A = this chain, B = another copy of it.
Amino acid sequence: MNSNMEKPYVVGIDIGGTNTVFGIVDARGSIIANGSIKTQTHEAVEDYVDEVCKNLLPLIIDHGGVEKIKGIGIGAPNGNYYSGTIEYAPNLPWKGVIHLASLFEERLGIPTALTNDANAAAVGEMTYGAARGMKDFIMITLGTGVGSGIVINGQVVYGHDGFAGELGHVIVRRGTGRLCGCGRHGCLEAYCSATGVARSAREFLSAKTEDSLLREIPAEEITSKDVYDAAVKGDVLAQEIFEFTGTLLGEALADFIAFSSPEAIVLFGGLAKSGDYIMKPIHKAMEDNVLTIFKGKTKLLVSELKDADAAVLGASALAWELKDL
Interface residues of A (CB under 8 A from B): 78, 134-136, 150, 152-153, 155, 157-167, 169-174, 182-184, 251, 254-256, 258-263, 289, 291-294, 297
Contact = CB atoms under 8 A, between A and B. Distances in A.
A110 to B, nearest CB: 26
A172 B252 CA distance: 11
A89 to B, nearest CB: 11
Contacts of A166: 258-259, 261, 291, 293-294
Given A291-B166, A294-B163, A260 B184 contact: no
A289 B184 contact: yes
Contact of A258 (B167, B183, B289, B291): B167
A17 to B, nearest CB: 18
Residues of A contacting B: mostly: loop
A155 B260 CA distance: 12
Contacts of A155: 152-153
Contacts of A158: 261
Contacts of A297: 160-161
Nearest to A138: B259
A164 B291 contact: no
Contacts of A254: 171
A173 B255 CA distance: 12
A261 B150 CA distance: 12
B164 A260 contact: yes
A259 B155 CA distance: 14
A308 to B, nearest CB: 30
B159 A136 contact: yes
